[in-house]
Amino acid sequence: MKTVIHHNAQKEKSGKRDYSRHITVLNRYSLLFHALLSFMLVFVIEVCSRRSAVGAFRFLSSHTFAFFFNSLIIFATLIVVYLFRRRMLMRIVISSIWLLLGIINGCVLSQRVTPFGYTDLKCISDLLSMTNTQYFTKFQEICVIILLGVLACFLVLLAIKGPKYQGRAHKVRAVCLCGGMCFIMSAATSFAQNSEWMATYFSNIAQGYSDYGFVYGFSSSVMDRGMHKPSDYSKEKIQQITAETANKKQELSSYKIADSGAIASDSKKKQEPNVICVLLESFIDPTEINFLNFSKDPVPNFRKLSKDFTSGYLNVPVVGAGTANSEFEVLTGMSLRYFGTGEYPYKTILKETDCESIASDLSAVGYGTHVVHNNGGNFYSRANAFSQFGFDTFTSKELMNIQEYTPLGSWPTDDILINETKKALDSTPDQPDFVYTITVQGHGSYPEERVIPNPEIQVSGAETEAQNYQWEYYVNQIHEVDKFIGNLTQMLAERGEETVLVLFGDHLPTLGLSDADMKSGDIFKTNYAIWNNFGLEQKNTDLSAYQLLAYAADQAGIHEGTIFTYHQAGQYQTQDAAYQDGLENLQYDLLYGERYCYNGKNPYPASDLEMGIDKTYIYSYRTNADGSLSIYGTNFTNWSRIYVNEEKMATTFISDKQVVLPAEYAADLENGDVLKVCQLGSSNTIFRTTENAMVYYAD
């Protein structure tokens, strides 16, 4: 027995010696190990990102410098381990972070075209608030939590039981090594970018990540945020730009549009027209896609508008996702090309400062300004952004009595937006209005099996049956959006008020389209059309998203705003270097600079945004036979919640006139308790509260 114990003890000692020997070798050749580890991590990350080992090998062979530069970035982060004694732990932590980012990017690219960037981390709260949707299912949420929990437990165990570096801790040497690595990375990056081995700007983010690797692309999105100060930015430069624009504005403003559509002088000035701008989610004229065939025209209403009124291609900054960035360009007149890689200004600069927009510009000349959207008010931090833009009201889905959804149940249908847009117009009867309406019905994802039993439009031409089903679902939803366009136009025509309607697609759908698939030859081109009911001349042209509302306002005789009048004065010369330099300077001045164009003042502060148009009231309450409590009132929605003494309670929505407090909670009510109903956004944000409260007394 003693012999066996002795033998086992010797074996255990031998195992420990071998383990220690491995650790010693690893520490001795750690830099070489880090280099190999970096190479392996980049390869695995590219396999995840491209969802193909073959794709990763192609990246290595065709973009070899970029592959090794990505490896250098990871190698630089691994140098941090020398600052710690638990080096194995830190290696695993750093490697896990990179692997997680790569896996996330692969998952993101399975749902959209735009790869994962730093600003997406700021959208995590939006993602978590949308469980059980195509963005993020409950099952996926549970899997992520379990995996992260397992990883956290492993790292904690490793921190407690894992090996420590036993040699002398050369802290000064370690700090110098880290500092030297930072210098090397800075010099290497400058060399790579100046020699054009690596790009400094991705006009196509998806292509940029593909050509230069996820690690470099994501790192760029971390390091390159906001706007860099233009080299020629100065007070004199801004004054020169604004003076030239003011002269042109004076010339433009000396003319107005007469009732007949001809040009008239200011002496015949009348109330400005309403302006309705509609973002059409994932909208493209399907006939623009070369390989698709249809049983009938999928967008007859949009096609008629495009034929009879001003229309053209619209260059947008995103593909497959990133609605908020197309929206930002349209509403502000600013270009995303001057911001960081993959940045969402809604999640960065607009969290800190107000921003002149079409809403604030039109408010200054007497317009009521409204937003209508059948999705969450907090998604993309829109409620905050629209306040920073100066809008008066924002009616999000939480303020709508939505009853109809798409066949998958993923999104509300868009027909509800017609009446909500009308409500916004009716809310200010004595002034013109700007209404920004955002649709959602065309949004992905698109199923690979037939969901609509008898689709109105049959679609063919894709490579596989599954892809044909995806296109069939998408096209039929876009066909419903086209019906919405026809009904919206009819509603506006019947109002009898002079109106300009601007319709545009925010980006192409996430269905794997390439430039070669499009008649336009460019996946960053969507369609726009500008309808009016008072005889404006048709002037077809292709535009960038940041020029769209300036062009529409120009046609309607509206010449307001710093950026918008700059576009009007510059005649939309997108490719002109001086034009782009002026735009970059103005953007920087308004958002990051000294606001020289305002003489250092702030004429467009954030608004006190009101959520919704309809007021809500409580009229009465009644105890039901089952012990529950019914509260009766007006304008309740699925997002209405009963509050008792300022505490949110479980609530059952019955109709826009009735919500119910379940019996188990109603049983706890006491005389004198205060009842009210609130409309809640994500994260329990109270968007609106009933105009009155009621005091509870038992029957």
pLDDT in tens, 509-561: 989 899 999 999 999 999 999 999 999 999 999 999 999 999 999 999 999 99
pLDDT at 371: 98
Nearest-CA neighbor of 402 among 679, 688, 691?
679
Other Cβ atoms less than 10 A from the Cβ of 52: the count is 13
The rounded distance, in Å, linking the Cα atoms of 371 and 421 is: 8
- Signed CA dihedral, 34, 36, 38, 40: sign only: negative
For the ranges 117-126, 335-344, 350-359, 562-571, the lowest mean pLDDT is seen at 117-126
The residue assigned the tokens 């790569």 is 102
What phi, psi does 58 have (nearest 5°)?
-65, -40
Query: Does the pLDDT value for residue 88 go beyond 60?
Result: yes
In DSSP terms, which residues pair with 632 in a beta bridge?
620, 658
Tell me if residue 527 falls in helix, strand or coil.
Answer: strand
Tens of pLDDT, residue by residue over 476-507, are 999 999 999 999 999 999 999 999 999 999 99
**Is it the case that residue 369 has pLDDT exceeding 50?**
yes
What pLDDT does 263 receive?
40
Q: Is the CB of residue 481 less than 8 Å from the CB of residue 411?
A: no
Listed residue (634, 640, 635, 631) closest to 675, CA to CA:
631
Phi, psi angle pair for 655, to nearest 5°: -160, 180
Both structure tokens of 135: 């963005």
C-alpha–C-alpha distance, residues 500 and 557, integer Å:
11
Note whether 466 and 448 are within 8 A (CB).
yes
Q: Residue 601 in 3-state DSSP?
A: coil
Q: How far apart are CA 513 and CA 284, in angstroms?
A: 12
% of the chain at pLDDT higher than 70: 88
Contacts with 368 (C-beta within 8 Å, 6 or more apart), sequence order: 392, 424, 427, 428, 431, 432, 433, 434
Beta strands in 296-381 (DSSP E): 310-315, 368-373
The model's pLDDT over 55-75, given as tens digits with 9 standing for 90+, comes to 999 999 999 999 999 999 999
- pLDDT at residue 687 tops 60: yes
Q: Residue 382 is encoded by which pair of tokens?
A: 């829109």
* pLDDT tens sequence across 394-452: 999 999 999 999 999 889 999 999 999 999 999 998 899 999 999 999 998 899 999 99
Query: What DSSP character marks residue 605?
Result: P
- pLDDT at residue 535, as a whole number: 94
pLDDT tens profile 465-482:
999 999 999 999 999 999
* Contact (Cβ atoms closer than 8 angstroms) between residue 468 and residue 476: no
The mean per-residue pLDDT over the stretch 207-236 comes to: 88
Nearest CA to 538 among 555, 516, 521, 519? 555
The predicted-structure confidence for 144-184, as pLDDT tens digits, reads as follows: 678 777 777 877 776 777 666 666 666 778 788 888 888 98
Cβ-Cβ contacts under 8 Å for 366 (sequence gap 6 or more): 272, 431, 432
**The pLDDT of residue 106 is above 80:** yes
Contact predicate 48/106, CB 8 Å: yes
What torsion do the CA atoms of 391, 392, 395, 399 make, to the nearest 10 degrees? 140
Res. 322 pLDDT band, cuts 50 70 90: confident
Amino acid at the residue 354 = D
663 vs 134, higher pLDDT? 663
3-state secondary structure at position 689: strand
Q: Tell me if 101 sits within 8 A of 218, measured CB to CB.
A: yes
**Are the CB atoms for 473 and 447 separated by under 8 Å?**
yes
Q: What is the token pair recorded at 125?
A: 């709260």
Q: What is the average pLDDT across 446-464?
A: 94
Of 370 and 4, the one with more pLDDT: 370
